[in-house]
Amino acid sequence: MLDHGGSTLQNELAGYIEKYTGTDGTHTTPIPNLSLIRATDGTELIHSIHEPALCIVAQGRKLIMLAQESYFYDSNSYLVVSLQLPISGQVIQASPERPYLCLRLDLDRHLIFDLIPSCQEALPKKTDSTKALFVSSMNQALLDAVVRLVRLLDTPEDISVLAPLVTKEIVYRILQEEQGQSLKQFAVSGSHAQRIAAAAQLIERDYNQPLHIADLSAAVNMSPSSLHHHFKEITAMSPLQYQKQIRLQEARRLLLLETSEAADVGFQVGYESPTQFNREYARMFGLPPIRDIKRLRESLYVGPRQVQA
């Protein structure tokens, strides 16, 4: 929990994000894996494949959706994603006077592995599975470390030496929390979580190919029923639903970048039926492909910014 000092740190963090963004959007920084995000109004629901990361809101509020589950976080909480996940996100509290201000620190799995032996909490059992996304209450020690990391933007000559040390402390603080098990489970050799992570990578690699659960199960040394159970425990969706989200997000990306017909893109991402592609695309994004892309292209010039973190 945060005391008065925590409020001071939150204000300082918001000030740094405002200082080093200035305009809406996502801004990379000289600090490795650290990005700063700003939005002066609410955004539409943005779909993306979210890499493992820590996200902290200094000002404003965000909605994250994983399958049918909803998570809200603001300056009193933080979000951790511990596995690549197809999610949707929407800034729901922002204004020109008080913009949405957020930072994202991508998590290095090797650093997590190195730190786990130093953590007091025991490793989870191989058979345990925990959701690969969680929102937890902000605490003073974590917030203090995050602010010290962002302060390094003022002294770029110190970044190469001090940023890795502070980043290590930040990851350590997360691992020490009760929900740090969500990260630790992927470090347990032979665990169900490790196998599910491998299964997710295979689905992503071959997303446009037919998905045969028996083959996927054999590839990660799990029974089909165990794969389905633990995949859903960790990602909140079945392997087929995971593949569908990846296919549709890739289709949307291709349609935005190219001039291909929607049916051609549907075939490219693995759909055999244009009708099925159009139906599932509209169910996920709210409009059929052509109308959705027209609206998105117009929104690049007018309307809510697309911000994800």
Q: What pLDDT is recorded for position 261?
A: 87
Domain residue extents for the chain: 4-187
Residue 62 token pair: 């965000």
Q: What value does the mean pLDDT take over residues 95-101?
A: 96
Average pLDDT, the chain: 90
Q: What pLDDT is recorded for position 109?
A: 83
Q: What pLDDT is recorded for position 303?
A: 39
Q: What value does the mean pLDDT take over residues 284-289?
A: 93
Domain 4-187 has CATH 2.60.120.10: yes
53-62 pLDDT, tens digit per residue, is 999 999 999 9
Q: What pLDDT is recorded for position 306?
A: 47
139-197 pLDDT, tens digit per residue, is 999 999 999 999 999 999 999 999 999 999 999 999 988 888 888 888 877 889 999 99
